Amino acid sequence: MDYQTGLAIAAPLTVGIAAIGSALGLGKAVGSAMEAMGRQPEAIAKIQTGMIIGAAFIEALTIYALLAFLLVMGKIGA
């Protein structure tokens, strides 16, 4: 197996694994936020802010994985 075949297998796997990790992290974050809102309704604004920041970080990591994928795709078949 040459390195280009390895890249062609690894690149989509990378994005897939990143997407799965992000989905799990986001799911846990939303679940915990809903639980915290139920326990402390007076702290909703702070919980939502934390939730938004966490979601932005998680999304950014997935976008980096997609960007790395596109960079690697440019090397395949070159």
Partner 1 sequence: MTAKILKSSFGLDFIQRTLKTTGVVLLVTFACGAYYFGFYDALAYFSAGIWSMVNLIFLSALVRTALKPEGVDKVATAVLALIKFPLLYGAGYFLLTVEIFRPIPLVIGLSLVILIMFLKAASRVLLNLDVVNQEDSTRGLA
Contact footprint for partner 1 (CB under 8 A): 30, 33-34, 37-38, 41, 44-46, 48-53, 55-57, 59-60, 63-64, 66-67, 70-71
* DSSP element (H, E) containing 75: helix 44-75
CA distances in angstroms from 15 to 27, 30, 67, listed in the order given: 18, 22, 9
8, HSE (Cβ side, Cα atoms, 13 Å): 8
In the complex with partner 1, which residue's Cβ is closer, 3 or 57?
A: 57
In the complex with partner 1, which residue's Cβ is closer, 21 or 62?
A: 62
Rounded to the nearest whole angstrom, what is the least distance from the CB of residue 15 to partner 1 in the complex? 12
